[in-house]
């Protein structure tokens, strides 16, 4: 794995995900072959691409003494590593920032809809956007993936899910859907939002969307949206998980 690839992801706005068992066992998963089988079985395919993305090209796969890894570059850059200890590490560029066509679409909708601000917005100074529905989908995807790893037998004890948004100071919450009423201006005032959520296998099997929703609300609050619409988040999650 070229180290400069990871450096490129980390150098700009990006997501981070770390799933880890609360008890460390270097050989929790018996082999690297089994690691790959678990990823293949647990990947989430609820929209146009898998999470995590599983390349069919051997050129996009790597392995170390106790882990497998994969990476891709398309609309953005994505990297993940799965260790025999059960730790899953993931980095991804923020699509709304690196996909220029989608970013332009989001900005146009934002300009039309955002009106409830004390003074006019200097759009040229806005470094980027985080699309609200995409955030809901992403975080829901993270917890659903963890739930599927549980279902495949990867985890039997409690785990911790750590989610972060990095290099996002000044980024604005927005929507790409002009049908969605979104007149508010919420911008991140910090460089990163990051927190851990402890969950049990039972939590994830019973309803992975519930702990995901707690993380979603916390991230929205980090942008200054202190009263997000919980019922709408539930509807978006329900529609997403059922395609």
User: Assign residue 93 a region: left if phi > 0, alpha if psi is -120 to 50, beta otherwise?
Assistant: beta
Q: Check residue 32 and give its pLDDT.
A: 95
**Residue 56 pLDDT greater than 80, yes or no:** no
Confidence of residue 2 (pLDDT cuts 50, 70, 90): low
Tally of structural domains, the chain: 1
pLDDT tens digits for range 150-185 = 999 999 999 999 999 999 999 999 999 988 888 889
Q: Is the pLDDT of residue 243 over 80?
A: no
Instruction: Tell whether the model's pLDDT for residue 67 goes beyond 80.
Output: yes
- Report d(CA 82, CA 32) in Å as an integer: 9
Mean pLDDT value across residues 58-82: 88
The CA distance from 168 to 16, in Å, is 12
Cβ(214)–Cβ(197) below 8 Å = yes
Please report, rounded to a whole number, the percentage of residues in the chain having pLDDT higher than 90. Answer: 79
pLDDT level of residue 221 (50, 70, 90 thresholds): very high
| Burial track 169-203 (b if 16+ CB lie within 10 A, e otherwise) | eebbbbbbeeeeebebbbbbeeeebeeebebebeb
Instruction: Give the domain extent around 116.
Output: 3-241
Pairwise pLDDT comparison (178 vs 67), residue with the higher score: 67
Indicate the pTM of the whole model.
Answer: 0.94
| Most distant CA pair in the chain, distance | 59
Mean pLDDT confidence for 48-66 = 83
What pLDDT sits at residue 198? 98
Above 60 in pLDDT, residue 1?
Answer: no
In degrees and rounded to multiples of 5, residue 4 shows phi and psi of -65, -25
- Distance of alpha carbon 177 from the chain centroid: 20
Mean pLDDT score, 130-156: 97
Q: How far is residue 87's CA from residue 69's CA, in Å, rounded to a whole number?
A: 12
Over residues 81-134, the pLDDT tens digits come to: 999 999 999 999 999 999 999 999 999 999 888 876 767 889 999 999 999 999
d(CA 75, CA 30): 34
Work out the mean pLDDT of the chain and round it to a whole number.
93
Is the peptide bond prior to 52 cis by the omega test (within 30 degrees of 0)?
Answer: yes
């Amino acid at each position: 794995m070229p180290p400069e690839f990871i450096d490129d992801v980390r150098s700009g706005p990006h997501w981070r995900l770390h799933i880890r068992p609360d008890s460390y066992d270097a050989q929790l998963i018996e082999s690297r072959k089994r690691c790959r089988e678990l990823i293949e079985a647990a990947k989430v395919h609820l929209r146009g691409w898998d999470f995590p993305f599983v390349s069919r090209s051997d050129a996009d796969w790597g392995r170390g003494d106790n882990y497998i890894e994969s990476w891709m570059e398309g609309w953005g850059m994505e990297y993940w590593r799965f260790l025999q200890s059960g730790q899953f590490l993931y980095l991804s560029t923020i699509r709304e920032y690196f996909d220029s066509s989608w970013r332009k679409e989001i900005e146009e909708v934002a300009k039309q809809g955002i009106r409830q601000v004390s003074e006019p917005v200097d759009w040229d100074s806005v470094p980027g956007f985080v699309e609200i529905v995409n955030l809901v989908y992403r975080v829901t995807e993270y917890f659903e993936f963890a739930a599927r790893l549980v279902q495949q037998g990867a985890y039997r004890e409690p785990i911790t899910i750590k989610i972060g948004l990095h290099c996002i100071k000044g980024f604005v919450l927005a929507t790409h859907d002009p049908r969605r009423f979104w007149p508010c201006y919420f911008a991140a005032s910090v460089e990163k939002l990051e927190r851990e959520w402890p969950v049990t296998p039972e939590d994830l099997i019973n309803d992975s969307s519930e702990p995901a929703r707690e993380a979603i609300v916390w991230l929205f609050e980090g942008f200054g949206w202190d009263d997000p619409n919980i019922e709408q988040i539930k509807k978006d999650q329900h529609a997403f998980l059922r395609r």
